[in-house]
Amino acid sequence: MAKEMLKGNNAIAEAAVRAGLEAYFGYPITPQTELLEYLSKRLVELNRVFLQAESEVAAINMVYGAACAGARVMTSSSSPGISLMQEGLSYIAGSELPVVIVDIMRGGPGLGNILPSQGDYFQVTRSAGHGDFHPIVLAPSSVQEAIDFTILAFELAEKYRHMVLLAADGQIGQMMEPAELPPMRPLMEKRPDWALTGAGDRPPNIISSIFLVAEEMENYNKMIQNKLKVIRANEQRWDEIYTEDIDLLVVGYGTAGRIALTAVEEAREEGMKVGLLRPQTLYPFPDDRISELADYVDSVLVVEMNAGQMLDDVRLAVGGQVPVSFFGRMGGVVPMPDEIYNAIKEAYTKTTAHKAA
């Protein structure tokens, strides 16, 4: 199929439709609303399920219900709406259901603003509401990746029977870029065995997140932890460029990652030995590769649109082998390439001075 100029939000919506999305429940919130608006037309035309819920609380619980019924289902929102969904997310986590959630992040905390931000990194990677759980988190940095990761999100959700979050920011949601959509996939043909379809002549299927006996709750947790171990071993994804023979490694994802690329290229033109690693999965975090690179770079610079959240994960991966510094803008301010360039230059100068000494 040929490339078209596509807006991030619309591209994600259409990609979901083509991935065989059967039902969508959501609530308007900027900068995500085009996604809901697009599906209000597209899904209705296709005779699939679209419903504007009365709130994000309702939307996520509708998703919970549809997932119990075995549907390929999705919701989308932006930061404050994702906060409101936390309870539902925890129940879904406690019920081992495959769902896809799109978060088009905006400035916070509080009502904040509608501008691009990466302030939800902790909110999306550390848990899903209360309890021990991590969703798989995909972080696109372009409209094409937003499309590809939407498809991947449904695949991973169903492969692992696990929650998958697509975490993009307002810039990716709002920008247009040439991108290619995949062909239309058919809807799921058969409901999964565990789905609630009416017992018929099989034993009843029950989906519940309550385990009153501590050991049973622990066993469920162990099962989830084992699954997460497999996910960590198999699903770390990242993109890297110019990472051979460098002194400074820049790490950034999503919008911050692609802006950092411009800055890295400028720095390389100035003769600095700098490269970029762009995590594509925030959970599982690409620890293995970062830890490997930390063996031979002299320092690492983390770039984010927040106060330094992924920074923790990078530090854990680097394990104290080399210094890790940080550059971030907050509150909806998108860094310009020259700011990141300056941060690179500073980190680089420090590193090389240190090396010389």
Partner 1 sequence: MESTTSIIPPEGMQLVYERPKALVDVHTHYCPGCTHGVAHRLLAEAIDELGVREKTILVAPVGCSVFAYAYFNTDGCEAAHGRAPAMATGIKRIDPSRVVVTYQGDGDLAAIGTAEIIHAAARGECITTLFINNAIYGMTGGQMAPTTLLGQKTKSSPMGRDAKIAGLPIRMSEVLATLPGSAYIVRRSLHDVNNIRKAKKAIVTALKAQINGLGFSMVELLSSCPTNWGIPADKALEWVEENMVPYYPLGDYKVIEAVKSL
Partner 2 sequence: MIESFLFSGFGGQGVMFAGQLLAYAGMDTGLETTWIPSYGPEMRGGTAHCFVVLSDKPIGSPLVRNPKTALVFNNPSFEKYDPLIKTGGLLIVNSSMIVQSSNRTDITTLNIPATSLADELGSLRVANLIMLGAMLAANHIIRPEDLKQALADHIPAHHTDMLGMNYAAVDLGMEHAVQVLAR
Give the interface with partner 1 as residue ranges (CB under 8 A).
Answer: 27-30, 33, 36-37, 40-41, 44, 50-52, 54-57, 80, 111
Q: Residue 277: name its binding partner from partner 2, partner 1, ligand TPP, none (Cβ under 5 to 8 Å by kind).
A: none
d(CA 175, CA 186): 29
CB neighbours (10 Å) of residue 206?
10
d(CA 66, CA 324): 44
Q: Should residue 259 be labelled a site residue for ligand TPP when binding is judged by CB under 6 A?
A: no
Q: Identity (one letter) of the amino acid at 327? A: F
Contact status, residue 327 vs residue 301, Cβ threshold 8 Å: yes
CA separation (Å) from 2 to 5, 12, 42, 110, 153?
10, 17, 20, 41, 23
Whose Cβ is closer to partner 1: residue 54's or residue 155's?
Answer: 54
Footprint (CB under 8 A) of partner 2, residues 169-198: 170-171, 174-178
Q: Should residue 108 be labelled a site residue for partner 2 when binding is judged by CB under 8 A?
A: no
Give me the least distance between CB of 325 and partner 1, in Å please: 36
Question: Which of 330, 343, 291 is closest to 169 using CA atoms?
Answer: 330
Footprint (CB under 6 A) of ligand TPP, residues 74-113: 80-81, 84, 111
Question: Which of 243, 304, 1, 287 is closest to 144 using CA atoms?
Answer: 1
Contact status, residue 286 vs residue 311, Cβ threshold 8 Å: no
Give me the least distance between CB of 8 and partner 1, in Å please: 17
Give me the least distance between CB of 337 and partner 2, in Å please: 5
Stretch that binds partner 2, among 154-162, 229-237, 316-324, 330-338 (CB under 8 A): 330-338
> Under DSSP, is residue 23 helix (H, G, I), strand (E, B) or coil?
strand
Whose Cβ is closer to partner 2: residue 180's or residue 287's?
Answer: 180
Whose Cβ is closer to ligand TPP: residue 169's or residue 298's?
Answer: 169
Q: Should residue 111 be labelled a site residue for partner 2 when binding is judged by CB under 8 A?
A: no
The token duo for 265 is 């290229």
The token duo for 183 is 């062909």
Using CB under 6 A, pick the residue from 18, 28, 196, 333 that binds ligand TPP.
28
Contact status, residue 125 vs residue 282, Cβ threshold 8 Å: yes
Residues that bind ligand TPP (CB under 6 A): 27-29, 56, 80-81, 84, 111
Residues that bind partner 2 (CB under 8 A): 3, 5, 30-31, 114-115, 170-171, 174-178, 258-263, 265, 334, 336-338
